[in-house]
Structure 1
Amino acid sequence: MQNKWGQLTAIDLFECREDVLKDKKKLEEFCLELCGEIGMKPFGRPMVERFGDGELEGNSALQFIETSSISVHCDEVDKRVFVDIFSCKEFDAKKARKFVKKFFDGKRMKSRTMMRG
């Protein structure tokens, strides 16, 4: 059997602060601070873009890390954020969940962690 390639943690957070979901600078800050929190080295600056139409319009962010990437998708209508962390270097998923919940001030969370490969 081949070795595992990496770890994926998917976090769905509900009842978040709408002002944070809408703030592109805050999302940049989130990406960089999350990297520090889980011991990942950012590769370049976070990319944050607003796109979509109607209820699907919102901010998304992508932070490359030396061992893969972090993606963030914000739903302002229902005040939700979806964060995916994938890395071929293991990280503390519990620490990541705690940081995400605190940063977006979310009230409810669903999360899954799995090994890839």
Structure 2
Amino acid sequence: MYWGYHLILDCKSGDLDKIKSGSNITAFVKALVPGIDMVAYGEPVVEHFATHIPEAAGYSLVQLIETSSITGHFVDLNGDCYIDIFSCKEFDIETAKGFVQEYFNPTQMRVTYLTRQA
């Protein structure tokens, strides 16, 4: 058994309307959490940042879960997004990827999966 399981998704050129929608990002994480058999701890934080820097502007997401966290960063300029799911409870990678595809429709998804143990 490992201490944690960490899925890192680097997603290219998602649907800009979806990437730039705080309500879509919120809907994504609210569907993802039960979809990968996790339990949310509180409400997600979804905030738009860096509006004064066009290359960096976009939403950031933080959702605490009982077994760790889900985070995401979404780039307004090009539709890229970066999503991390870290949990000490195992989860299905393909299911998680499916939610990302459904909610953001990236043209490419680079997947990194780590098992964590000190």
Query: SS of 1:54's equivalent?
Result: coil
What letter is aligned with 1:108?
Q
1:30 matched to 2:28? yes
1:16 aligned counterpart, secondary structure: coil
Q: Which has the higher helix share?
A: 1
The percent of aligned pairs where both chains have the same amino acid is 35
Code of the residue aligned with 1:40 in structure 2: it is: M
**Per-residue deviation at 1:22?**
1.1
Q: String of CA shifts for 1:36-70, please: whole Å, max 9, x gaps.
A: 11011011000011112231111011000000000
Alignment of structure 1 residues 26-105 onto 2, 5 Å: 26-52=24-50, 53-105=53-105
The amino acid across from 1:11 in the alignment is L
What's the C-alpha RMSD, in Å, of the aligned pairs? 1.0
Q: Structure 1 residue runs of 4+, over 3 Å off?
A: none
Instruction: Check if 1:116 corresponds to 2:105.
Output: no
> Which residues of structure 2 form unaligned runs of 5+?
none
Q: Secondary structure at the match of 2:55?
A: helix
SS at match of 1:77: coil
